[in-house]
Amino acid sequence: MNQYHSRFPFLLFAQRLLSLILIALFLSACLAGGADSDEHLEAKVGQMLLIGFRGLEVDESSSIVRDIREGRVGGVIIFDYDVALRSPVRNVASPEQLGKLVADLRAASHGAPLFVAIDQEGGRVNRLKERYGFPPTVSQGWLGGQNDPRLTGEYAHRTAKTLSGLGINVNLAPVVDVNVNPDNPVIGKLERSFSADPHTVAIHAAAVIAGHQTEGVLTALKHFPGHGSSTTDSHLGFTDVTRTWVEKELEPYRAILRTTGADMIMTAHVFNARLDPDWPATLSRATMQGLLRDQMGYQGVIISDDMQMQAITDHYDLETALEQTILAGADVIIFGNNLVYDEDIAQKAGEIILDLVREGRVPEWRIHQSYSRIMHLKSRLAARGKMECRLCDAY
């Protein structure tokens, strides 16, 4: 219980009541019967897209601001390095600069809160580096080696407090990949896995989730159904884990879903013929709907990994990738716009999805289903925001 709640218990009750009321309002809007008009359907599709952009600052003429204002995106993702340009100038220069950038982005959003996401795992995957004026971080591998969940929780809370102070409300962490292959170029070698022991992974991941919850920052478990055994990097091309993947890679997900639960679960672009002989996980209904939802009971938001990674783009056109990931069960679809850059990607993706619905290739109820899950999650951000405003007024 935080300092306000310990001094004023009624505020905790009020916050919970407000959250329930907002959830009810959001869901009642979602569940209003009948087929959607084109305008409503377009707004729902927009909530499914989370987009990267260029710039240390934005204004009314910025394409990302227009996309937010016109409802073409429901979230943005922050990077510190522009991969396509091989430039250190992207979205991050200092705490003050980033705080203003995020505030301007959020101000452009009307209605539901804007997801502002970042990959702030710590260690090698760290967008808020010391050279920009942010606190030092450590890797998940280092924390797993210390094997002190309290220490992991302390680092997680420090990270979440930094993010919350900047207005960033989604951390695409923790990594719950089991370190099956320590030589894995994208997980093990980068010290992104807590451990080769799934129980240890689950305990430390739960500590990360709890540390973020205290600051109202959402988290995403990644990369389902497991990237820890791969021998190649899905950023760079086709990644087949059929022969290396083991059942224990699912254990951290099962443990967390039984206990703390998950705000979001991110898919991997790995191909596993034992789970689906035709599609990689991000495009696989057997993996996402059949395994994660039906067998493991997860009913929350599924978020894709970046759809511009070469494991997808080298093998599927944009229309096929969007059709398959939505049919498979993805709710939020990421276009990081960093490996390649397309200023119009939000509009292009949105129009493709709308056409897929109009042609009957994607049922309208799938859009409604994802929208409902997203709004349910965003209602928690709205509730926290309203309570923080009331607390500010009270002091």
Catalytic residue positions, numbered:
235, 305
Give the closest residue to 202 by CA, choosing from 226, 174, 230: 174
Residue with tokens 């409604």: 368
Give the closest residue to 160 by CA, choosing from 174, 150, 177, 142: 174
CA dist 99 to 137, 162, 306, Å? 19, 10, 24
CATH of 34-362, one of 3.40.50.10800, 3.40.50.300, 3.40.50.2300, 3.20.20.300: 3.20.20.300
Range 334-353 burial, b when 16+ CB lie within 10 A, else e: bbbbbbebeeebbbbbbebb
List per-residue pLDDT tens for the chain, 395 residues long.
443 343 334 444 444 555 445 544 544 444 444 456 788 999 999 999 999 999 999 999 999 999 999 999 999 999 999 999 999 999 999 999 999 999 999 999 988 999 999 999 999 999 999 999 999 999 999 999 999 999 999 999 999 999 999 999 999 999 999 999 999 999 999 999 999 999 999 999 999 999 999 999 999 999 999 999 998 766 766 789 999 999 999 999 999 999 999 999 999 999 999 999 999 999 999 999 999 999 999 999 999 999 999 999 999 999 999 999 999 999 999 999 999 999 999 999 999 999 999 999 999 999 999 999 999 999 988 766 544 443 333 32
Listed by start position, the domains of the chain span: 34-362
What residues does 333 pair with on adjacent strands? 49
Pair 271, 280: CB distance under 8 Å: yes
Token output for 289: 């709907």
Give the closest residue to 380 by CA, choosing from 216, 240, 262, 224: 216
